Amino acid sequence: MEPSLWAVLGGVVAVMRVLGFVAAGYALLTARTSQGAIAWSLSLVMAPELMLPIYLIFGERKFHGYVDARREGSLPLQKLAAEVGEKYVPAVKAQFQPGEVDHSVLEKLARMPFTGQNNGRLLVDGEATFDAILAGIAAAREYVLVQFFIIKDDGLGRALQASLIQKACEGVRIHVLYDAIGSHTLPSAYVAALLEAGIEVEAFRGRSRGKGRIFQLNFRNHRKIVVVDGHTAYVGGHNVGDEYLGKNPVLGHWRDTHVELRGPAALGAQLAFMEDWYWMTQKVPPLQWKPEIAVTPGQRVLALPSGPADELDTCELLFTELIQTARQRIWIVSPYFVPDQTVVSALQLAALRGVDVRIMLPEEADHKLVYLAKFTYLEETLPYGIRVFSYQPGFLHQKVVLVDDDLAAVGTANLDNRSFRLNFEITLLFADRNFAGEVAAMLATDFSHCREMSMAEIEQRPIWFKVASKIARLLSPIL
């Protein structure tokens, strides 16, 4: 090898060493836990050539640029949010009677109060969900906001595309936002057809017109939101793809839940969409912000967005608060079970104080590492009275929480670290006994299609499986 080439390689190694030390110092200052700080700093110092690229992608805790944008109070979006909160929300703020559960913590996390006079409707599985969404789009008069983590160019994707193009031709304004990584298979021709019809389309990325960082690849916008004319919102677990209609030959039946929400709380979903839209475009299109009262008022609803731009770990705190609030039961349904120690401890404490703690998970796996990691967490739940059920008929993808008899949550957040800290999510919370009763009946049906798991089946797993599960758990912060 030529001496000059050796010199170049030596220089590269020296630069990587220096950058490794710098990154290690940054990790010490910014890591969320002492264990994380130690792990990152030691690995960056000892093997910077390997670990520096990994740290640049997976090491960041906050979504930079977006955080700064939130702190700039003069931004048009911030002014708009303040106007909505001060001018419109007080008139529809929900009232709670003495003796009812105090939900002020949830309101502080959402930066918005519960509103009354809403009407939410459960949409069970894909056919009901997309029949409702497409009907809502067809009825739009002014505008439609569409946001999904995944949009595919298949039968369902093309049905959505055709519906949006039809409304655009009728003069309705359409804004479409999809996650660039989640929808990485979406062909440019699909987007081009929307743009040609006059529809505004953006892909959510780590950078936005000079803001953010190019290496923010580990963050995802996992929200699924459709808003029609500011008065109706659709939020839940479904993305846009034929598998969400149960047409995946491997996973088969796809069990998922969405909500159709009419009323003032729909503005909370609209605000969440606009914050993401503003991040990518630096524009705030004219929208309807005056609350529309539901035809059958009464439901108290809160739209709670969360994500890596929050000062707090909002999604983790949401789950922790729901678990701590429970006095009779806490039923949690999620496709993934990779929580952190705070949530595990909250579940253990709830079971120890006599709460009926149940977790429903899918029998089938769509992500092998997440599937393996969950077994290590079962060892920390099953022995303490926490009951875990495995859904049998197909793949379970819904994200639903039921607390006692009067609080239910439906949204996009999973019971895992990715939703807690790395994903932008949104959850609709219903402080309404009738709606909670409907959720309880729905979940009771789901539980009837489950088998209850036990420690015996975990203990009987072969040693290679147990080792693989432990290794998968090491990756839990980024799964």
Whether residue 276 is found in the same domain as residue 398:
no
pLDDT value of position 444: 98
Whether residue 425 is found in the same domain as residue 392:
yes
Domain assignment of residue 309, yes or no: no
Whether residue 118 is found in the same domain as residue 142:
yes
Rounded distance, CA 461 to CA 471, Å? 15
Domain assignment of residue 54, yes or no: yes
Residue tagged 């677990």 (tokens): 237
Helices 155-169, 188-196: axis angle to 10 degrees equals: 20
Three-state secondary structure of 166-177: HHHHCCCEEEEE
Nearest to 423 by CA among 260, 320, 314: 314
Rounded distance, CA 361 to CA 150, Å? 21
Domain assignment of residue 479, yes or no: no
Whether residue 110 is found in the same domain as residue 236:
yes
> How many Cβ atoms are within 10 Å of 23's Cβ, its own excluded?
21
pLDDT value of position 475: 65
> How many Cβ atoms are within 10 Å of 367's Cβ, its own excluded?
14
Whether residue 81 is found in the same domain as residue 153:
yes
Domain that holds residue 46: 3-58
Rounded distance, CA 324 to CA 330, Å? 9
pLDDT value of position 218: 73
Per the annotation, the verdict on 222 as an active-site residue is yes
- Could you say which of 153, 340, 404, 416 is catalytic? 404
Domain boundary among 244, 275, 301: 301
pLDDT value of position 74: 46
- Could you say which of 222, 231, 238, 374 is catalytic? 222
Rounded distance, CA 265 to CA 304, Å? 10
pTM value? 0.89
Rounded distance, CA 176 to CA 206, Å? 17
Domain assignment of residue 306, yes or no: no
Domain assignment of residue 35, yes or no: yes
- Could you say which of 64, 374, 397, 416 is catalytic? 397
Per the annotation, the verdict on 404 as an active-site residue is yes
- Could you say which of 153, 229, 256, 313 is catalytic? 229
Write out the chain's pLDDT in tens, 479 residues.
455 666 666 666 676 677 666 766 766 666 666 556 666 676 677 766 666 666 666 666 666 666 565 555 446 666 776 777 676 677 788 888 888 888 999 999 998 899 999 999 999 999 999 999 999 999 999 999 999 999 999 999 999 999 999 999 999 999 999 999 999 999 999 999 999 999 999 999 876 655 555 556 678 899 999 999 999 999 999 999 999 999 988 888 999 999 999 999 999 999 999 989 988 888 888 998 888 776 666 899 999 999 988 888 999 999 999 999 999 999 999 999 999 889 999 999 999 999 999 999 999 877 777 778 888 888 889 999 999 999 999 999 999 999 999 999 999 999 998 899 889 999 999 999 999 999 999 999 999 999 999 988 888 888 887 787 777 777 666 55
Nearest to 77 by CA among 309, 313, 233, 422: 309
Whether residue 377 is found in the same domain as residue 427:
yes
Domain assignment of residue 419, yes or no: yes
Domain boundary among 268, 301, 334: 301
Rounded distance, CA 136 to CA 174, Å? 13
pLDDT value of position 291: 83
pLDDT value of position 70: 53
* Pair 40, 24: CB distance under 8 Å: yes
pLDDT value of position 478: 55
DSSP helix/strand/coil, 370: helix
What would the two tokens of residue 212 be?
A: 């953010």
Domain boundary among 301, 328, 345: 301
pLDDT value of position 198: 97
- Could you say which of 224, 231, 253, 258 is catalytic? 224
pLDDT value of position 373: 80
DSSP helix/strand/coil, 211: strand
Nearest to 386 by CA among 338, 476, 479, 455: 455
Whether residue 349 is found in the same domain as residue 466:
yes
Rounded distance, CA 135 to CA 32, Å? 44
Per the annotation, the verdict on 397 as an active-site residue is yes
Whether residue 286 is found in the same domain as residue 204:
yes
Whether residue 206 is found in the same domain as residue 262:
yes
Per the annotation, the verdict on 446 as an active-site residue is no
Per the annotation, the verdict on 64 as an active-site residue is no
How are beta strands 400-403 and 407-411 bridged, if at all?
A: antiparallel
pLDDT value of position 430: 98
Whether residue 93 is found in the same domain as residue 198:
yes
Domain assignment of residue 78, yes or no: yes
Whether residue 249 is found in the same domain as residue 327:
no
Contact partners, residue 17, CB within 8 Å, separation at least 6? 48
pLDDT value of position 121: 96
* Pair 47, 13: CB distance under 8 Å: no
Whether residue 337 is found in the same domain as residue 462:
yes
In CATH, what number is assigned to the domain containing residue 240?
3.30.870.10
Domain assignment of residue 307, yes or no: no
- Could you say which of 64, 256, 399, 432 is catalytic? 399
How are beta strands 329-333 and 400-403 bridged, if at all?
A: antiparallel
pLDDT value of position 140: 97
Q: Where are the alpha helices (DSSP H) in 181-223?
A: 188-196
- Tally the domains of the chain: 3
